[in-house]
Structures are given as C-alpha cells and as structure tokens.
C-alpha cells in the first residue's frame, strides 16, 4: 500500500475506534456469545450480546485483537446496533457488506452513519474480511439464540 492509500483507509475516526474501542469487554451470563477469527490477517473477535423480549439488542460488548480495521469496525458496529432489533441489525449488516465490498448501493445509507468511512476497504479485497469479522461474529451469536 502507498502512503496515500494507507491514509485513505485509516481515517482518524477509524484510528480513534481502534485505539479506544467502545463497548469493550465481556457481558456476564446469561447472554449470547460467538467467536470469530480471520486467520489470513490474525484478527480475532469475541462478541457478547443480550437480547430483550422484543428481540432488541439491549447490550453488546466485544473483545479482540488484530488489525486496526477489524477492531475499529467491531467497535463502530457495537455503537451502531445497540438498541436495534435483530432484524434491523441484519439489514444494517447487509448494507455495510455492500459498501465494503462495493456490491451495489446500500438500501438505507443514512443509517450507516460513520460506518460509511470504512467503504475505502473495497479497494483492498483482503481487508474486507477484517471489516466484516465483527459482523460475522454478531450474526453467529444471534443465530445461536
């Protein structure tokens, strides 16, 4: 990657999330949990989710290690989906997948907010897995419910 490309990718908001991840830590049981890893980059994410009786994500936390993109993306995700229903979270995940893969327009671009800052990832196919790792773990946790 050239310095310009790196600058594009690691924008300040992304760096801030990777240095000071939001919703970092574990939730006490009972809650949903999933582990995701991305061996090609060495990224790991553990997600803990609590759902209320309306299928709403009432709390979410994560821990992990790996590259700035994987950790920042997970941090930004937790901020964005707390309080959303699992259906809303799934819709957001699909829109996020579209922007990081450059695969069509998101259906609700406004909902993505600062997550759109990660769209630069689409120029770096090996980074798409990093950006999606937290979202994949979230999906696994919810499917396990």
Binding site for Zn ion (CB under 5 A): 41, 43, 66-67, 70, 130
Question: Which lies closer to Zn ion via its Cβ, residue 41 or residue 90?
Answer: 41
Between CA 75 and CA 94, with CA 40 as vertex, the angle to 5 degrees is: 45
In the complex, least distance from residue 20 CB atom to Zn ion, rounded to whole angstroms: 18
Question: Which lies closer to Zn ion via its Cβ, residue 91 or residue 101?
Answer: 101
In the complex, least distance from residue 106 CB atom to Zn ion, rounded to whole angstroms: 22
In the complex, least distance from residue 50 CB atom to Zn ion, rounded to whole angstroms: 27
Question: Which lies closer to Zn ion via its Cβ, residue 36 or residue 66?
Answer: 66
Beta-carbon contacts of residue 29 (< 8 Å; ≥ 6 apart): none
Q: Closest Cα to residue 142, out of 78, 73, 87, 92? A: 87
Q: Closest Cα to residue 27, out of 44, 51, 53? A: 51
């Amino acid at each position: 990657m050239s310095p310009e490309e790196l600058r594009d990718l690691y924008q300040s908001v992304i760096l801030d999330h990777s240095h000071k991840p939001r919703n970092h830590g574990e939730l006490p049981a009972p809650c949903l949990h999933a582990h995701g890893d991305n061996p090609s980059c060495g990224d790991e994410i553990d997600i803990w989710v609590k759902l209320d009786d309306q299928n709403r994500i009432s709390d979410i936390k994560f821990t992990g290690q790996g590259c700035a993109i994987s950790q920042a993306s997970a941090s930004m995700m937790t901020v964005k989906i707390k309080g959303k229903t699992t259906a809303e979270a799934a819709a957001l995940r699909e829109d996020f997948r579209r922007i990081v893969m450059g695969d069509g327009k998101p259906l609700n671009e406004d909902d993505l907010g600062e997550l759109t800052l990660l769209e630069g990832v689409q120029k770096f196919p090996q980074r798409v897995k990093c950006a999606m790792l937290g979202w994949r773990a979230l999906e696994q946790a919810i499917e396990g419910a």
